[in-house]
Amino acid sequence: MRHAFVTGAAGFIGAACCARLLEAGWRVTGLDAMTDYYDVTLKEARLAPLRAHDRFDFVQDYVETPGRLRGMFAGGRFDLVIHLAAQAGVRYSLENPRAYLDSNVTGTFELLEAAREFPPGHLLLASTSSVYGANDKMPYAETDRADHQMSFYAATKKATEAMAHAYAHLHGLPTTMFRFFTVYGPWGRPDMAPFKFTRAILEGRPIDVYNHGRMRRDFTYIDDLVEGILALADAVPGAAPVAGDSLSPVAPFRVVNIGNASPVELGDFIAAIEAALGRKAERNLMEMQPGDVPATWADTALLQALTGKVPGTPVTEGVARFVAWYREYYGV
Ligand code: NAD
């Protein structure tokens, strides 16, 4: 039976990945430190159905604990490794940059060391559209420059891309680096706009709309994202490049965007939440936040070439599903 290791397994994306892998017949070992960056109860609730599964094992620890991952990898148990554990969020990286250094840089180093010694068949790591930073050529293609990060969060993710490339090159580790674009959906993250807006509107509080709503995001629905991850798990770098490939000239390593390829104005996203809730939002128009970028837009040609599919859930549908989950989960 194929065995996958997923870090950040109690996280928004990690829990959804674990559920999908179990459904597809994998054995899954998940690890998560259950950090209190946001409500730990939500993390426990995501884990509960996974824990009930007899092909799922869970370990609570930090990825950066020296030697911890090495011990877990011993014997080369894992066919697939999906590294999602991270300190996420652009805004919090102004407040507590060290959390990003520890989890993202040191944590990824520990993972790469474990993979070097006990190589999995394919190593998948999460990066972010934020690494495109000040690049204003849209849509963002993987082969475009991504050298001018605007937040420390993005800088640590860019560092993990470089570290993983070096390990792929030096140790022949087949590695795919994802750049995710604003993921949303049921079991989502309370620190992200869709969640915060829904909560505020239901509680009758105004919502903070940054850059006066003149922001465009390539919102990606969680199920589409997970399908993309699973499809890319089978696209092991090493074979001949496809058209527009970001494949490294020296290593079995590529970077792939997973986005929706159709950016949505923040105002339209809010309108979709209002429609799903049947309530109007009171808008608190704010300036742009430091570290943020006004737009993200994924070029998904490479994802299409490698997997034959791209995310396509329309925002109205994805938001309706998110709102339905929110109301049921919180009983409001
Ligand atoms: P999340 O915060 O819900 O999940 C991350 C999980 O990692 C959490 O459960 C947390 O407890 C755990 N974690 C944090 N630090 C850890 C550490 N040092 N050791 C072990 N576990 C630790 O976030 P998510 O949205 O599921 O994001 C998953 C990955 O995708 C992250 O790497 C994130 O940077 C990346 N990403 C997410 C988005 C998005 O829109 N959600 C966009 C771009 C990139």
Map out the domains of the chain with their CATH numbers: 3-189+220-260+297-312 (3.40.50.720)
Share of the chain above pLDDT 70, in %: 100
pLDDT of residue 33: 98
**With a 6 A CB cut-off, is 217 part of the ligand 1 pocket?**
no
Using CB atoms within 10 Å of the CB of residue 71, give its burial: 0 to 12 exposed, 13 to 18 middle, 19+ buried.
Answer: exposed
Inter-residue contact 16 to 38 (CB < 8 Å): no
Span from the CA of 39 to the centroid of ligand 1 (angstroms): 13
pLDDT at 289 > cutoff 90: no
**With a 6 A CB cut-off, is 237 part of the ligand 1 pocket?**
no
pLDDT at 174 > cutoff 90: yes
pLDDT of residue 46: 98
DSSP type of residue 79: S
In the chain, the amino acid numbered 140 is: Y
pLDDT of residue 189: 98
Span from the CA of 240 to the centroid of ligand 1 (angstroms): 32
Among 62, 100, 153, 210, the active-site one is 153
**With a 6 A CB cut-off, is 259 part of the ligand 1 pocket?**
no
The overall average pLDDT reported for the chain is 96
**Which of 85, 86, 52, 75 minimizes the C-alpha distance to 3?**
75
Span from the CA of 103 to the centroid of ligand 1 (angstroms): 10
- 326 part of the active site: no
Kindly state the average pLDDT of the residues 219-232. Answer: 98
